[in-house]
Chain A
Amino acid sequence: MIEVQNVTRYFGRVMAVNDVSFEVAKGEILGFLGPNAAGKTTTMRVLTTYLPATKGTAKVAGFDVHDQSMEVRKRIGYLPENPPLYQEMRVRDYLDFVAKIKQVEPKNRKKAVDEALGKTGTTNVGNRVIKTLSKGYKQRVGLAQALVHNPDVLILDEPTVGLDPKQIIEVRELIKSLAGNHTIILSTHILPEVSMTCERVVIIDKGKVVAEDSPDNLTKKLSGSMRFKVVVDAPRDQVEEKLRSLPGVKKVTPANAPGNKKLSTLLVEGQGKEEIRPVLVKSIIENGWNLYELTPEGMSLEDVFLHLTTKEEEPVQ
């Protein structure tokens, strides 16, 4: 449904997007993940025909974003980083206007607007002037705007920014429910969002794609080094010092013990794939401490993200 091929975009001498390629199948939800200034917004703007690419091509629903931009525009709903709202308009009038320029048939327009209001939980503010709405409601109206013409492809730039936790969950559910009939790309910094809503993730950093896979696979691939949570009934400093001195141990990070103050919790990371559990247990017993817990800790997507975007010398294949 969406094909991005070697897209590069310069702003003057700044390279915002560097040779990015990926594909999104029909009905799929793709998460677009990356730190600030990674080039997420720029890539999305190329896809929505707002910005031309300096090099490379992109196709949406089989139409080239540059040569057949009108065809592409008919098929996309786009929520930009800042919701594109006419502050002085009323919500309903605004959505009606958007429906008009998105070529919704006049006879279906009222229904389309009502549905968009319903889906985004904004029916009750339909008659309010947009500038009087709270930030979260503005964001919802922005989302309604992207949905109003029921487009095949949705491109959402940080759709849950500014929403309250309940609404975040609702919007994620909404996005999930739209998949299947719609193809969706959403960008975010919020990692749990990706693991919750997306089937596939593209991680982008400094304009380049650094990884592309399902959230689960990404986490698995990267949890190469072993990490364990250790709970011991001894002063934390002592335990930390002792464990750090053991062979094969790369890193010991103290983690707060919840509740019981006598217990210390630490995260121990081994070197490479070497098994360090026997060494840990032995050393703890020898010191006369009691071991309460020893559990493997997988790398969270958060770690994967940091790992990928801070250390370039360890690329993931």
Chain B
Amino acid sequence: MRKFLAIYNREVKSYFSSPIAYIIIGLFLLITGVFYYLIVTSFVQYCMRADMQAQYYRMAPPKLNVNVMAIRNLFQNMSLFMSFFLPMITMRLYSDEKKTGTIELLMTSPITNLQSILGKFSAAVTLFLAMLAFTSVYMILLFIYGNPELGPVLTGYLGLFLLGSSYIAFGVFFSTLTDNQIIAAASTFVFILFFWAIGWVSAMVSPGLGHVLSSFSLIEHFEDFAKGVLDTKHIVYYLSFITMGLFLSFVSIESSRWRGR
């Protein structure tokens, strides 16, 4: 535990002592902020138009749901941006150690590969949580000026957390494969896109196969969270995905010892 913490603390400190963490968080907030603004203003315009129409036809104004029409949309956008920003967080975790040779220190110290993988993974998840925490400002604003339901917001965040952790687990794996950070980030991104695309393809093929494919899709499992539905099936899916990523990292590190690079 102490050694896990040593790795974890070092990684967290190294994130926050370099400008990279701030740039990534800043850009993520900027881009989600832009979409937040667009989504909310169009929702408000839509409401106003609906109100005017209702007055014109002398009907009661319709109840428009901010959860369905704005928040869900925002979560979906965030899940997409994460696939772009999270690989930038994970790319250096092992690649940099391989490049500078510090991996030799780690792998000749009395720490297990599991301790070092979990330490690095948790550090990246911590940075990711900081990113998510900042976006809660947007949600709080909605609560101040409107009355959305709390439930779907919470499940949405849980979904984002699980989805992002899955990205990170595989980001760790891809960074064990190469000493080049750019390659690590790019391959993580392509991998994530692939698991998204499975969802789109599934809509086009036969229903049976489509069902199987969509059950593998990273984003298909996120839909329910965004809607406010909490289903253990989806939680299990993401947890298996995370475990898989970390397990592959372990195998990759072990086998690189045999190969010698």
Contacts and interface: CB of A to CB of B under 8 A. Distances in A.
Interface of A: 11, 45, 48-52, 70, 73-74, 76, 78, 80-89, 93, 97-98, 100-103, 145
24 contacts: A11-B259, A45-B104, A49-B107, A49-B108, A51-B257, A52-B258, A70-B112, A73-B108, A73-B109, A83-B101, A84-B101, A84-B103, A84-B104, A84-B105, A86-B10, A86-B14, A88-B14, A88-B17, A89-B10, A93-B13, A97-B10, A98-B109, A100-B2, A103-B110
B104 A87 contact: no
Interface of B: prevailing SS: helix
B226 to A, nearest CB: 38
B105 to A, nearest CB: 4
Contacts of A88: 14, 17-18
A84 B99 CA distance: 10
B102 A100 contact: no
Interface string B1-19: 0110011001001100110
A48 B17 CA distance: 31
Contacts of A145: 105
Most chain A beta-carbon neighbours within 10 Å: one of B103, B110, B258: B110
Given A84-B103, A85-B100, A145-B105, 7 more contacts: A50-B257, A78-B105, A84-B101, A88-B18, A101-B109, A103-B3, A103-B110
B111 interface: yes
B208 interface: no
B258 A76 contact: no
Contacts of B109: 73, 98, 101-102
Interface residues of B, number: 26
Contacts of B3: 100-101, 103
B106 interface: yes
Given A70-B110, A100-B2, A89 B14 contact: yes
B260 interface: yes
Nearest to B116: A101
A48 B110 CA distance: 11
B116 to A, nearest CB: 9
Interface string B243-258: 0000000000000011
A88 to B, nearest CB: 6
Contacts of A87: 100
Most chain A beta-carbon neighbours within 10 Å: one of B10, B14, B103: B10
B147 to A, nearest CB: 47
A97 B97 CA distance: 15
Contacts of B258: 52
Contacts of A85: 100, 102
A86 B112 CA distance: 19
Across the A-B interface, give the 4 residue pairs with the lowest CB-CB distance, nearest first: A84-B105, A100-B6, A84-B102, A82-B101
A80 B6 contact: no
B18 A86 contact: no
Given A87-B100, A101-B3, A78 B108 contact: yes
A12 to B, nearest CB: 8
Contacts of B112: 70
A293 B109 CA distance: 58
Nearest to A81: B101
B113 to A, nearest CB: 11
Contacts of B17: 88
A99 B252 CA distance: 27
Contacts of B13: 93
Contact of A50 (B18, B107, B110, B111): B107
A302 to B, nearest CB: 30
Contacts of A81: 101
B6 A97 contact: yes
B14 to A, nearest CB: 6
A80 B105 CA distance: 8
A101 B14 contact: no
A11 B260 contact: yes
B108 A50 contact: yes
Most chain A beta-carbon neighbours within 10 Å: one of B102, B104, B105, B106: B105
Nearest to A106: B2
Contacts of A52: 257-258
A81 B260 CA distance: 15
Nearest to B103: A84
A48 B108 contact: yes
Contacts of A74: 110
Interface in B209-261: 257-260
Nearest to B111: A101
Nearest to B108: A48
Contacts of A78: 104-105, 108
B257 A98 contact: no
B2 A80 contact: no
Interface in B77-123: 100-112
Contacts of A76: 108
Nearest to B10: A97
Interface in B175-193: none
Most chain B beta-carbon neighbours within 10 Å: one of A48, A73, A84, A101: A101
A147 B13 CA distance: 24
A102 B109 CA distance: 6
Contacts of A48: 108
